[in-house]
Chain A
Amino acid sequence: MRSQSLMKSTILLVVVVASTVLCWELYWRSHGYEISYDDTPSMWADKRKRVYEPSESSTVFIGGSRIKYDIDINTWQQITGQHAIQLGCVGSTPLPVLVNLADDSKFKGRLVIDVTETLFFSPSDAQRPKEGIKYYDEETPAQWASFHVNHLLESQFVFLDKESLSLGAILDHLPLQNRPGVFHFAGFPPEFERMSFERQQNMTNRFSADTAQRNTVIKIWKMFDSDTSFRPTNGKKLDSIFNLVKTSIDKIKARGGDVIFVRPPSTGSYLARENKYYPRALYWDKLLQITGCPGIHYQDYPSISNLNCPEESHLDLAGAKIFTTHLIDLLKEKGWVFSYSK
């Protein structure tokens, strides 16, 4: 191809790509989408690096998705003057992260552990935290630099949202009939998951107000319910989990750290299944008894016992603000001191 033709092709390329990207971006913005970050191992590792801040200036949160939806980081930081370091992982047990922090002699801070029984007592759901820890341990200079360039781009473009708006995610939502017996999880509705750079997740107002979208997610919870990993862990396996948790917490406490368990709200049929499979006395109460740690179970406190979970498992942003505000008060009651507090 002659050089002149190539130059014309290149100019056409630039015009077509720039205009397509611009239209694509405007399209999603016109549909009410806002900036959302991908919850990647590099993002987790970036937050993991911050756990060494002194306990007066930060608190670390670990657990599943509930802690990510239910703690409103802005509210937390405004009231306590502390950083909230969010290390929760969607759909995952917090145990690998707890062990990782316990084995890190430099970590001496405050730790809030979300106890979502179906995840906490299901060690098989550990892929995401393990990936995050591996990434944190093995991050290369190139990955570190790429993460920061990526952050720069993600903070500008709404369409850069792999979970919801990428080619793969959109293809996954095509209504294609599968063969009988094929398990297919197309992902959550895009408006269910928006994530901040601090790794807080929240559902959009449109999601909270849309019964159809809420029911879609409730159906997904029921589908997960049929998964055997939802079934309660008991016997020796449960004892080993209790032992692991106790050993890890003892290590953190021995270094001067503080640990507290929190059971965030759930409602409706989801709560009914949790109560059925994970009776409080055998799991939550026993966990506190064995570890000797304080705990805050939402059902024990009227201020947070009646919060509404739009899809039965997570709070919306308004609920998260209320929950976070009251959680701080309850933590103070448990003896936590915040140097700056509104």
Chain B
Amino acid sequence: MVFNSYIFIVFFAVILALHYLPLHWNVKKVNLLLASYIFYAAWNPPFILLLWMSTVIDYFVGRALYTQPDGYKKKLLLVVSLIGNLGMLCFFKYGGFLLDNFVTIVNVFGWDFHPAKPDIILPAGISFYTFTTLCYTIDMYEKKSEPVKSLLDFSLFVTFFPHLVAGPIVRPPQLVPQFESERKATQQQLLEGLFLVSLGLFMKVVLADSMLSSIANDVFSSGGSLPALDAWMGVLAFSGQIFFDFAGYSTCAIGVAASLGFVLPQNFLYPYGAVGFSDFWRRWHITLSAWLRDYLYIPLGGNRQGKFRTYVNLMVTMLLGGLWHGANWTFVVWGGLHGFYLWVEKAIVDFRKDRVPSIASVPSAEVGVLGAQPEQFKLKTVRNFFIALFTFFLINVTWVFFRATTFTQAWNLLKSMFGLASGSPMLTTLAIIKVSVIVSLMVITHWLMRNTKVLDVAAKLSWWSFGLVWAFMIIVLIWSQESSSSFIYFQF
């Protein structure tokens, strides 16, 4: 089920009504769990079995990891959990990719091997819930937190429908304690939650789907060479689309949870207002970058083993982060480009002896791969604004690899963007106006709001102006008449 569908509105209304009935807290939790299974099964019912399997295995393995005194057995249990979780992810998500690459390699060495193409359907959200359960077992292994007391709470932690399919990726300490005692939203939380749901839907349905997606699709699927204007407009359109799509989903998820009285972590913090790339990763898909830092970068050694290893660890983290997004080398290059940008940025910072705090000492809640943001980058100066614009420019280059399905497509588009190729114009004046207006407003908004949150800004508005802004979003949402298209991040 997707948030931007009519059936979700009905579903959500029923869940809200049930949640506010005078029932015992355990009954309400069972309601939420069943609702989460319905939410997931409404997509593809058989895949609910995978979710159950993952939940049950990790619950018991997690407890055993926490209580097991024998170091050898503990490691064995961890390996079992890693193989179980990552094995499932590898099979469903990377099975075809691994086979393709294997075939390419053996063909190079003269073995004429052509197996049948596997027909594997990717279960929705597998990358997200795998990371959720993985962090639990790793935390249990390292005794970072207490085991979850009941299977019901653990199942709800893994399956809670607002975050299940596309995050935010939650950690046990962030969500599990919220299930231990009754949660009920105050009137303010409920209305703010509904506002966030409206905002998220506006971002997804109006801005991403109705305004930008067809423009990005047209340019990326054209395949051939284009005038620089068309190529840039297509890439900028995708840049807006991917943000509004994914941040829209996260905003809906946070809003849905808030309406029920739960708090999910922020996943986006105006990323196109980022001053540099470490700042970008503090603002874009925050829960993933924090996960990668805590469960990949730091275990690899982080920045504790000298400069050379820091650079290597950074690149490995970004390459694997790229691969997490999809089974295609283009995603790896996307991650590699970000890794390269972070290298350059780190080299400049190191050269200027303007060090960021040690990565290992940074708390894991809401910051990205490179830790806390230096104070001077928090200022809204003209210099920082131009650095932010340059950052945005370079990020657009990476989106080419993220969106293109082949390197040929990506290369053709890059050549067009930088005037190394030309072709017939393709985008209408209307399309150019849409992209120019929406993307400009998006970047300006991100810059102006980079140190604040949307509810803080809303709180400063008068009641009637806030009501009118909210009404405007709903009216345009209804008027756009787009519904039920999948969120881009579902495929990851």
Contacts and interface: CB of A to CB of B under 8 A. Distances in A.
7 contacts: A1-B192, A6-B187, A142-B2, A145-B10, A149-B7, A168-B481, A171-B430
B188 A166 contact: no
A178 interface: yes
Given A6-B191, A140-B42, 9 more contacts: A9-B470, A13-B467, A17-B474, A142-B42, A162-B481, A172-B430, A174-B430, A181-B425, A183-B426
A17 B475 contact: yes
Interface in A159-200: 159-162, 165-168, 171-172, 174, 176-184
Interface of B: 1-2, 5-10, 41-45, 186-188, 191-192, 194, 206, 210-211, 424-430, 433-434, 455, 458-459, 461, 463-464, 466-468, 470-471, 474-476, 478-484
* Interface hub of A20, A180, A182, A183 (most chain B Cβ within 10 A): A182
A9 B429 contact: no
Contacts of B481: 38, 160-162, 165-168
A269 B481 CA distance: 36
Interface residues of A, number: 47
A84 B146 CA distance: 64
A177 B430 CA distance: 9
A254 interface: no
Contacts of A226: none
A13 B455 CA distance: 17
A181 B474 CA distance: 37
Given A142-B2, A149-B10, A3 B187 contact: yes
A318 interface: no
A261 to B, nearest CB: 34
Contacts of B426: 182-183
Nearest to A141: B42
A12 B187 contact: no
A143 interface: yes
B186 A146 contact: no
A282 interface: no
Given A13-B470, A150-B6, A184 B428 contact: yes
A16 interface: yes
Contacts of B479: 24, 159, 166-167
B29 to A, nearest CB: 23
Contact of B192 (A6, A13, A143, A183): A6
Contacts of A12: 463-464, 467-468, 471
B6 A146 contact: yes
* Interface hub of A7, A141, A167 (most chain B Cβ within 10 A): A167
A2 interface: yes
* Interface hub of A1, A7, A178 (most chain B Cβ within 10 A): A1
A150 B481 CA distance: 11
Contacts of B10: 145, 149
A159 B427 CA distance: 28
Contacts of A21: 475, 478
B210 A168 contact: yes
B467 A143 contact: no
Contacts of B210: 166-168
B235 to A, nearest CB: 18
A49 interface: no
Interface in A254-283: none
A17 B471 contact: yes
A6 B188 contact: yes
B458 A149 contact: no
A148 to B, nearest CB: 8
Contact of A182 (B41, B425, B478): B425
Contacts of B427: 182
A146 B7 contact: yes
B226 to A, nearest CB: 12
Q: Which 3 pairs from chain A and chain B are nearest by CB?
A: A12-B467, A142-B42, A9-B467
A164 to B, nearest CB: 10
Nearest to A168: B210
A33 to B, nearest CB: 15
A166 B187 contact: no
A153 interface: yes
Nearest to A160: B481
Contacts of A149: 6-7, 9-10
A10 interface: yes
B7 A3 contact: no
A167 B430 CA distance: 13
A150 B483 contact: yes
A5 interface: yes
Given A8-B463, A140-B43, A167-B479, A16 B429 contact: no
Contact of B484 (A13, A146, A171, A183): A146
B466 A181 contact: no
B42 A7 contact: no
Contacts of A181: 424-425
A10 to B, nearest CB: 6
Contacts of B2: 142
Given A9-B463, A167-B476, A16 B468 contact: yes
Contacts of A160: 481
A9 B455 CA distance: 14
B429 A143 contact: no
A59 B283 CA distance: 57
B41 A141 contact: yes
A90 B467 CA distance: 42
A8 B467 contact: yes
B7 A145 contact: yes
Contacts of A20: 471, 475
Contacts of B476: 167
Contacts of A8: 463-464, 467
Nearest to B475: A20
Interface in A116-143: 140-143
Contacts of A1: 188, 192, 455, 458-459, 461, 463, 466
A26 B8 CA distance: 28
Contacts of B7: 142, 145-146, 149
* Interface hub of B42, B434, B459 (most chain A Cβ within 10 A): B42
A168 B468 contact: no
